[in-house]
Structure 1
Amino acid sequence: MAHKSQRRSAMVLSGLVAVSLGLAACGSSDDGGGDADAGAGAATEIDCAPYEAFGELDGKKVKVYTSITAPEDEPHINSYKPFEACTGVEIEYEGSKEFEAQLPVRVKGGNAPDIAYLPQPGLLRTMVETGKVVEAPPEVVKNVEANMPDWKTYGEVDGKFYAAALGANVKSFVWYSPAAFEEKGYEIPTTWDELLTLTDKIATDDPDGKPWCAGIESGDATGWPATDWIEDVMLRTAGPETYDKWVNHEIPFNDPAVATAIAEVGKILKNPKYVNGGYGDVKTIASTSFQDAGLPLLDNGGCYMHRQASFYAANFPEGTNVAEDGDVWAFYLPAKDATTKPVLTGGEWVAAFADRPEVKAFQTYLSSVEWADERAKTCGLGGCVTANKNADPALVKNAVDKLSVEMLTDEASTSRVDGSDLMPGAVGSGTFWKGMTDWITGQDDKATLDFIENSWPKS
């Protein structure tokens, strides 16, 4: 670790808010900063001068708890290395597939982490209600206002700001095999009707394969990929204004607009002719892990399409060529017509359960341009887009991440954050997940929507 006594390069600081991390001379090659890259060119030397604003932190530890697990965790861990090398703080990273279920248990039991990456603003509200979440320090607020102002409201609860956005991902993707499409002469659909027509054609052309593969098993979070389907289709069939009313419970969960969306999703996920490529019948969707679900795309027609977010690129085996002319690629999940482009997004929010100096320092680093740029540099297989609008787009090298940035910045795009992430935690990461799992295994549309509606908190 680098210590305060080590040489620092001269640099004019713009304050703790800036946390201006450069790439000039400082620590030695064995100070932990020399291999901060998991997929791009490594920076062997780090300018540690900006970190002096954090004070003396050598030997301190910060415990981070998150739902981000292997293989997506390594780029995150590597992105902390400049901070660790220059401050002397050790970041203890723990990823868990049972994060959403276990975090409330740990907080209630007095075993809260220092920092948690919350994948739902609804869960943030639930955690804030425990009285254990610490308001974000002023330095983080200033970073958020400068770097990601559009995301600030998602980190607020009752007018107080608690959590800065971390990563951002695009969920409105359909993964496919370019080779399989080319062999069969299939064109990328540009409307929802074209997608359904293509689906039916694939089912007719290839009785041994299936048009779609899907999987919603995710430990205690089983069901969340099915909620993404509903949200994406709600944006397409009902429009963003009605979507917002649904998320805020200004219309009931069993409103006709939601019934239309679930019926439309059912045309694909509940049709045994269309799913579940490489795994079995419709019910196998509930027992197929989301990590494995899209792998039959590589199996020469095991399945032809898989709807999943940009971060899914990290789940393909090492050596998979993820590119427009590669082994797998992705296209935009089409809307009702080709002139509109609703985009479903997601992310994580950094909440602190401690206000020690080293925790505040790490929060500030994660809200800075410098961390966003470091995250891009450590990125391997994709899923490395951040919410930080001031990050250097030239550092985004991964093809899928570039595609995500293009989609998010398209003037025709209308983006909305994942609806279940915004709903109260009891619904968004509770009954919505369970209801969709039961729906996949046989429960009808009405019973599913009624169950979720009846679970909505009364106050």
Structure 2
Amino acid sequence: MSAATRPNVTAAVLALWLVLLCALGTGDAGAQRSGGTIRVLASWTGSEEDAFRQVLDAFTAEHHIRVEYQGTTALREVLLSEVRSGTPPDIAVLPSSGELTAYAANGYLAELGPVVPEGEYTPLWTPRLTENGPVYGIAVKADLKGIVWYDGTRHRPRDLPALAADGRQWCVGMGDGATSGWPGTDWIEDILLRQQGKQVYERWATGELAWDDPRVARAWRTWGELFSGAAAKAALGTDFRAAGKQLFAKRPPCALEHQGSFIRGSYPGPHRARFGFSSDVLGPPRPPGGPGGAHEVSGDFAALFKNTGHTEQARELLRYLAGVEGQRTWAEHTPPGSARPFSANSEVPVSVQRDDRIAQSIARTLQSSSLCLDASDAMPPRMRLAFQRAVLTFLSYPDADKENRLGPLLGSLEKVHRSTEQGGDEHQPWPSTVCR
């Protein structure tokens, strides 16, 4: 390069840098005018992520607040790492109220206050540390549990009790990585609720009833009698995502699946899937001293982390996600053929489920007056993980040993129960209530 041309090149480089600096400056100013960028962490991936991003885009278009979304199947591990490093997301959507209240008890979460739409959510869907304390989370998505799925083109409702009595007719999978065993906890919770009713169920879920109480032991024993031998072995070796797909095989090896409403979206034949309440399929034992009939439910709870720098913008997003407009938008942007999300907001009409009668029935049940949260979801995380592991251990026992080994197994769970009440480096509180 000659000396004559060098000044022109230098001028061109300087001009390019000026353009880039101006562009960066405009971007920063635009971000400030738009309210900055907030970060959301949740477990939704695939088609669920696509639908949720559409909701976030609609929010950005209306409120001029940018949202960066991260979906991960390792939500618990990712969030814990970020919190410990001092870089939590603005909002995290947790699949259990127990994890949420643990973060709140250790001072990581901001109170939500006016974010909760007045009169649209019952206390069941707005976790607190104490019954009348401040709200630290809100269910932006809900699911119904205590139900049994089957192929409606092959079986009629009246056939289900006979099928249910045969353990070989159940499609069961306990596998789910680090949280394997949770489908079994769902079974035991559902059986306890049916056998003993809301009062006993709630005492157990809130830590007032011992794990080795005879009523709790009866629920385990009932479950163990249903899944024995080859059925138990098959359940231990099957991932929960694969279990129910067998319902729709050309020659299905099983006919029933005990699973939450969310599972329908993963079935290869969702239009053929029908459900019955477990109380109808498994028989309706009436609890002593009180009526049964409560439905078990679960939720995805959004929480706001402190000191992220975008608290007010994040509150605005939570207000939108929890409100009727955001919930309706979420349903409407779900891709055709995928299951639309269910809402815990009592003002969201059943009609958002379009002409899907099965989904409408689930939505109406979620607005029922008698609901109980999934007990293990509401328990302290340490207790929930011990419960999940105990389920796997119990299934692995030889049939002849189950009865003799159940007592010591429940005794070990009771020790974990007592240890959670003694506290530790990180407080993990028990819920004050799980039913309404």
Q: Normalised by the shorter chain, which TM-score bucket?
A: 0.7 to 0.9
Equivalent position of 2:263 in the other structure: 312
Which of 320, 345, 349 in structure 2 is aligned with 1:392?
A: 349
Equivalent position of 1:303 in the other structure: 254
Partner SS for 1:341: coil
- Greater Cα shift, 152-161 or 75-84: 152-161
CA RMSD of aligned residues (A): 2.5
The alignment status of 1:246 with 2:221, answered yes or no, reads: no
Report the Cα offset of residue 59 of structure 1: 7.0
One-letter amino acid of the counterpart of residue 191, structure 2? V
Mapped to 1, the partners of 2:226 and 2:75 lie a distance apart of: 30
CA contact (8 A) 1:174 1:331 kept: yes
Partner SS for 1:165: strand
Report the Cα offset of residue 408 of structure 1: 3.3
CA contact (8 A) 1:176 1:330 kept: yes
Report the Cα offset of residue 256 of structure 1: 0.8
Equivalent position of 2:238 in the other structure: 288
Equivalent position of 1:421 in the other structure: 377
Equivalent position of 2:426 in the other structure: none
CA contact (8 A) 1:98 1:220 kept: no
One-letter amino acid of the counterpart of residue 346, structure 2? K
The alignment status of 1:372 with 2:320, answered yes or no, reads: no
Equivalent position of 2:431 in the other structure: none
Equivalent position of 2:221 in the other structure: 263
Mapped to 2, the partners of 1:163 and 1:268 lie a distance apart of: 37
Q: 1:329 to 1:152 in 2, by over 3 A?
A: closer
Equivalent position of 2:425 in the other structure: none
Which of 139, 146, 152 in structure 1 is aligned with 2:114?
A: 139
Equivalent position of 1:177 in the other structure: 151
Q: 1:211 to 1:315 in 2, by over 3 A?
A: same
The alignment status of 1:347 with 2:299, answered yes or no, reads: yes
CA contact (8 A) 2:125 2:299 kept: no
Mapped to 2, the partners of 1:355 and 1:263 lie a distance apart of: 51
Alignment of 1:25-424 (within 5 A): 58=34, 60-136=36-112, 138-141=113-116, 143=117, 145-151=118-124, 153-156=126-129, 159-181=133-155, 187-189=158-160, 195=161, 197-200=162-165, 210-272=168-230, 275=231, 282-299=232-249, 300-317=251-268, 320-322=269-271, 326=272, 328-334=273-279, 335-336=283-284, 340-353=292-305, 354=308, 356=310, 357-380=312-335, 381-382=338-339, 384-397=341-354, 398-409=356-367, 414-424=370-380
Partner SS for 2:46: coil
Mapped to 2, the partners of 1:216 and 1:108 lie a distance apart of: 30
Which of 433, 440, 448 in structure 1 is aligned with 2:388?
A: 433
CA contact (8 A) 1:97 1:220 kept: no
One-letter amino acid of the counterpart of residue 309, structure 1? G
Mapped to 2, the partners of 1:139 and 1:238 lie a distance apart of: 37
Mapped to 1, the partners of 2:394 and 2:82 lie a distance apart of: 30
Partner SS for 2:143: strand
Report the Cα offset of residue 337 of structure 1: 5.1
In structure 2, list runs of 5 or more residues that go unmatched: 1-30, 423-436
* TM-score, normalised with respect to structure 1: 0.74
Mapped to 1, the partners of 2:237 and 2:110 lie a distance apart of: 37
CA contact (8 A) 1:151 1:387 kept: no
Mapped to 1, the partners of 2:372 and 2:314 lie a distance apart of: 30
Alignment of 1:10-25 (within 5 A): none
Report the Cα offset of residue 188 of structure 1: 4.3
Mapped to 1, the partners of 2:240 and 2:267 lie a distance apart of: 12
Report the Cα offset of residue 90 of structure 1: 3.2
CA contact (8 A) 1:254 1:449 kept: yes
* TM-score, normalised with respect to structure 2: 0.77
The alignment status of 1:451 with 2:412, answered yes or no, reads: yes
Mapped to 1, the partners of 2:207 and 2:87 lie a distance apart of: 33
One-letter amino acid of the counterpart of residue 336, structure 1? P
Report the Cα offset of residue 148 of structure 1: 0.5
Q: 1:199 to 1:454 in 2, by over 3 A?
A: same
Mapped to 1, the partners of 2:136 and 2:56 lie a distance apart of: 21
Cα distance per residue 1:77-111 (max 9 Å; x no partner): 22222102223333322232322344223211223
- Greater Cα shift, 82-91 or 149-158: 149-158
Partner SS for 2:296: strand
Cα distance per residue 1:135-171 (max 9 Å; x no partner): 21x4304x1x321034355244582221112111101
One-letter amino acid of the counterpart of residue 139, structure 2? A
Partner SS for 2:218: helix
Mapped to 2, the partners of 1:420 and 1:265 lie a distance apart of: 16
CA contact (8 A) 2:101 2:136 kept: no
One-letter amino acid of the counterpart of residue 149, structure 2? W
Higher helix fraction (1 or 2):
2
CA contact (8 A) 1:67 1:96 kept: yes
Partner SS for 1:351: strand
How many aligned residue pairs are there?
369
Report the Cα offset of residue 359 of structure 1: 1.3
Equivalent position of 1:29 in the other structure: none
One-letter amino acid of the counterpart of residue 190, structure 2? D
Cα distance per residue 1:328-384 (max 9 Å; x no partner): 222111252599533110001111113513212111111211111112212353251
One-letter amino acid of the counterpart of residue 458, structure 1? E
Partner SS for 2:69: strand
CA contact (8 A) 2:104 2:129 kept: no
Partner SS for 1:161: coil
Percent identity, aligned pairs only, is 25
